[in-house]
Amino acid sequence: MKLSAPLFLVALLSAFVSASHAQGSAAKASAKPDLVAGEAKYAAQCAACHGADGNSGSPVNPKLAQQHPEYLVKQLREFKGGVRKNAIMQGLAAGLTDEDMRNISYWLASKKAKPGFAKEKDLVALGERIYRGGIADRQIAACAGCHTPSGAGIPAQYPRLSGQHAEYTAAQLSAYRDGVRGNSVQMSQVAAKLNDREIRALADYVAGLR
């Protein structure tokens, strides 16, 4: 069917507007994060618990420095949406825009993580066995398969674990196991098969990974 001149112009204009909108959205999505803005927002809202440079000094609050930014953005969005439960974090995330989350996350990724260390020598050998080899008779896969042997993780897929506070890691594994934290089916399935001693052993081993 042949369009009349006015209808043709309307269709052409509509197509142009749609294309411009799509290009604008793509440009916004690919825009570089503003690290200066991220640092300022982090200092104002996050540093008190997670340390000035993302290296938390409290064992109950995770180290965030050098963490994969995609993982951090995902967690912040899930706190904001109520998928991951934590009263403090849900309250803080509620006031963050997607741009804020991205800026903060990429700024944290640019900071160097301080190394940690294992504390319980009687457990670290068990933790290493599970982390590197899993537990075959319970069909528990090796943690190293997803988080890498060094605990560096895989960007956009699996978080960095090396050097993380053992207390925090143990708390998260227990939360996955007990159904308190439910934003990763894979981790819930793994943690469900671990006992308290194995969780402590893994957490202590991870703390000393380099």
DSSP secondary structure code for residue 116 in this structure: -
- pLDDT digits over 61-105, tens only? 999 999 999 999 999 999 999 999 999 999 999 999 999 999 999
Rounded to 5 degrees, φ, ψ at 159 are: -70, 155
Q: How many helices, marked H, and strands, marked E, lie in the chain? A: 11, 0
pLDDT of residue 30: 58
Q: What is the pTM of this model?
A: 0.85
202 burial level (CB within 10 Å; 0-12, 13-18, 19+): buried
140, β-bridge pairs: 135
CA 189 to chain centre: 18
pLDDT per position as a tens digit, 21-64? 545 444 455 589 999 999 999 999 999 999 999 999 999 999 99
Side chain identity at 115, as an amino acid letter? P
Q: What confidence score (pLDDT) does residue 48 get?
A: 98
pLDDT in tens, 152-172: 999 999 999 999 999 999 999
Query: Among candidates 123, 107, 2, which has minimal Cα distance to 52?
Result: 107
Quick: pLDDT tens for 101-118: 999 999 999 999 999 999
Most confident of 13-17, 119-123, 193-197: 193-197
CA distance 43 to 20: 36
Band of the pLDDT at 151, cuts 50, 70, 90? very high
Q: Residue 158, SS3? A: strand
Taking the C-alpha atoms of residue 155 and residue 22, their distance in angstroms, rounded to an integer, is: 27
pLDDT of 31 reads 82
Residues 6+ apart with CB under 8 A from 197: 123, 126
- Going along the chain from its start, the domains and CATH numbers come out as 35-109 (1.10.760.10), 121-207 (1.10.760.10)
Q: What is the pLDDT of residue 176?
A: 98
